[in-house]
């Protein structure tokens, strides 16, 4: 039975709250989280759960960090708000720190969410070409299964039909190509051939659309929410090459991959890429407060700078973007990550998780296991030869059984394509060895229960 006011809270939740995506269900009411500490969440009834999915919302340093709360509190008393039409020290300091983390010359534009960071990127890319006297390049190439946000532009860039089709018409300036989903490559092709072919699709699109109409390519270094799709090095090398060949800006969406998840500060650093624009969000503050950023290569910014023509400014206002308390918290968050070596720890934990789970490849339902630092995807299939995706009911039952045993994990993929079959594991970067042991133990036990189905 429920205690701690859960029953009443659920009634009120059902009456007053409109949730993200998940429909309300009698059988599976939402968990009402009450508090968090480290990698663990406690609900209103006092049940504890390891948040093995927190990486998707990027609570990277874990829950309950007083240092972060204090940084925001102090800044709120000092100066709670000032617009970035002018300036303030928390934004300046954070922008400098981000430049250091990016290992390149960037200028930072602040917003509040990943969607907004991408919107700013799209507008900067379009305007940049005009600032430099080029024709009106307005198209942006993105990928199927990629997720870039929920606002109309970032939704248009998103390549997941189920999120989009009821809201059409969207922006016509976004085009999509297939991602390098190596597990589902055509038989007979090597991974390298397949990755090259996927990259070639981008060059073909640029050529056929006309390079003079293409402003940018946007992608995550590794597709996370679309099923943990890890490309070969050669794919991203080719993408970078194609972008520079045709003067198309390369936007890296680091909303999930950024801030250590990949085992490097930013995901693209694993591949030695030099993106023109980098977008980032929740990981900036470990999701404690809303803040996002669009980092723009300095020489691109120069095309907007010091212009006397007011129509040459970036005419874009974000009232809350770069909120002082959020910036102060973000700066403390990055310092904490440095003090505790969390980026390197992500690499170590990620490697261990992947190794320990690899025995699951023998499991009848497991077709493939992929990882990028401390985010792991386990692709469930009913037939290892045809790679028939496991039905949603099975995926949900596994996730439900994990939750019963105190472990929250996620699923992703693309429902319309029948690919919502990738279990996703992404515990906080600050997870202890015991946390990881628990996650592995529960997942293996649950998978064992499903070995006969």
Q: Across the chain, which distance is largest between two alpha carbons, in Å?
A: 71
Count of Cβ atoms closer than 10 Å to residue 154 Cβ: 27
Angstrom distance (rounded) from CA 167 to CA 343: 38
- Length, in residues, of the chain: 453
Residue number with CB closer to ligand PMP (61 or 446): 61
Smallest gap from residue 148 Cβ to ligand PMP (A): 5
Q: Min. distance of Cβ 218 from ligand PMP in angstroms?
A: 9
Cα separation, 221 vs 242, whole angstroms = 16
104 and 98 Cβ atoms separated by less than 8 Å = no
Residue closer to ligand PMP by CB (options 281, 442) is: 281
Q: Smallest gap, in angstroms, from Cβ of residue 129 to ligand PMP?
A: 23
CB of 142 to ligand PMP, least distance (A): 11
Nearer to ligand PMP among residue 266 and residue 438 (C-beta): 266
CB of 426 to ligand PMP, least distance (A): 11
Determine how many CB atoms are found less than 10 A away from the CB of residue 190. 11
Here the tokens at position 46 are: 């006092």
**DSSP sequence for 365-415:** TEEEEEESSS-EEEEEEEETTTTEEPPHHHHHHHHHHHHHTTEE-EEES-T
- Give the nearest distance from C-beta 21 to ligand PMP in angstroms: 11
The conformation of residue 232, written as its DSSP 8-state character, comes to: P
Closest to 152 measured CA to CA, from 141, 167, 162, 139: 167
The partner residues of 408 in beta bridges, in order of sequence, read 51
Tell me how far, at minimum, the Cβ of 340 lies from ligand PMP, in Å.
24
In three-state secondary structure terms, 452 is coil
To ligand PMP, the closest distance from the beta carbon of 223 in angstroms equals 8
| Listed residue (322, 271, 268) closest to 297, CA to CA | 268
**Preceding amide of 169 cis, omega within 30:** yes
Closest to ligand PMP by CB, 280 or 442? 280
Q: What minimum distance in Å lies between the beta carbon of 149 and ligand PMP?
A: 4
Phi and psi at 403, nearest 5°, equal -65, -40
Q: Which residue is nearest to ligand PMP (CB)?
A: 114
Residue 267 or 367: which CB sits closer to ligand PMP?
A: 267
Q: Which is nearer to ligand PMP, 121 or 369 (CB)?
A: 121
Cβ distance to ligand PMP smaller for residue 281 or 380: 281
Question: How is residue 436 written in tokens?
Answer: 């990881």
By beta-carbon proximity to ligand PMP, the closer residue of 129 and 282 is 282
With contact defined as beta carbons under 8 Å apart, do 359 and 404 qualify?
A: no
| Gap between the Cα atoms of 380 and 435, Å rounded | 24
| Contact between residue 373 and residue 346 where contact means Cβ atoms under 8 Å apart | yes
Residue 143 or 332 having the CB closest to ligand PMP: 143
Q: CB of residue 225 vs ligand PMP: minimum separation in angstroms? A: 5
Which residues touch 229 (CB under 8 Å, ≥6 apart)?
Answer: 145, 179, 180, 181, 182, 222, 223, 370
CA-CA distance, 105 to 123, in Å (whole number)?
Answer: 20
The CA distance from 447 to 54, in Å, is 21
Of 224, 136, 217, 211, the C-alpha closest to 175 is: 217
Q: Which is nearer to ligand PMP, 150 or 432 (CB)?
A: 150
Site for ligand PMP, rule CB under 6 A: 113-115, 147-150, 220, 224-225, 253, 255-256, 281-282
* 44 vs 375, beta carbon nearer ligand PMP: 375
In whole angstroms, the minimum distance from the beta carbon of 51 to ligand PMP comes to: 15
């Amino acid at each position: 039975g429920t205690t701690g006011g859960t029953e009443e809270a659920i009634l009120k939740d059902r009456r007053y709250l409109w949730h993200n995506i998940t429909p309300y269900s009698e059988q599976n009411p939402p968990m009402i989280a009450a508090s968090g500490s480290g990698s663990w969440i406690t609900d209103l009834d006092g049940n504890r759960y390891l948040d093995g999915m927190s990486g998707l919302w990027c609570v990277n340093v874990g829950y309950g960090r007083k240092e972060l709360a204090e940084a925001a509190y102090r800044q709120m008393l000092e100066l709670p708000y000032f617009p970035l039409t002018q300036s303030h020290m928390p934004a300046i300091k954070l922008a400098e720190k981000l430049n250091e983390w990016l290992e390149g010359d960037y200028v930072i534009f602040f917003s509040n969410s990943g969607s907004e960071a991408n919107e700013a990127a799209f507008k900067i890319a379009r305007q940049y070409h005009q600032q430099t006297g080029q024709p009106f390049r307005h198209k942006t190439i993105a990928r199927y299964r990629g997720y870039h946000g929920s606002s109309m532009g970032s939704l248009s860039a998103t390549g997941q039909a189920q999120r989009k089709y009821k809201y059409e018409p969207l922006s016509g300036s976004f085009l999509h190509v297939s991602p390098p989903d190596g597990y589902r490559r055509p038989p007979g092709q090597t991974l390298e051939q397949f990755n090259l072919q996927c990259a070639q699709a981008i060059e073909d699109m640029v050529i056929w659309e006309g390079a003079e109409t293409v402003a940018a390519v946007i992608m995550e270094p590794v597709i996370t929410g679309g099923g943990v799709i890890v490309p070969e090095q050669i794919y991203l090398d080719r993408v970078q090459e194609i972008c520079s060949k045709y003067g198309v800006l390369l936007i890296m969406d680091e909303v999930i991959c950024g801030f250590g998840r990949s085992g490097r500060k930013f995901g693209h650093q694993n591949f030695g890429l030099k993106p023109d624009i980098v977008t980032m969000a929740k990981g900036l503050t470990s999701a404690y407060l809303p803040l996002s950023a669009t980092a723009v290569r300095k020489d691109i910014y120069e095309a907007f700078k010091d212009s006397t023509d007011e129509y040459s400014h970036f005419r874009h206002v974000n009232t809350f973007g770069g909120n002082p308390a959020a910036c102060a918290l973000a700066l403390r968050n990055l310092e904490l990550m440095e003090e505790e070596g969390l980026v390197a720890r992500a690499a170590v934990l990620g490697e261990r998780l992947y190794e320990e789970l690899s025995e699951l490849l023998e499991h009848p339902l497991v077709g493939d296991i992929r990882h990028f630092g401390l985010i792991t995807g386990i692709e469930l299939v009913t037939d290892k030869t045809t790679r028939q995706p496991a039905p949603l009911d099975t995926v949900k039952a596994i996730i439900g059984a994990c939750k019963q045993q105190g472990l929250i994990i996620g699923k992703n993929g693309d429902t319309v394509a029948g690919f919502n079959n990738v279990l996703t594991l992404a515990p906080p970067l600050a997870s202890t060895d015991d946390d990881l042991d628990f996650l592995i133990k529960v997942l293996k036990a649950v998978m064992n229960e499903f070995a006969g189905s």
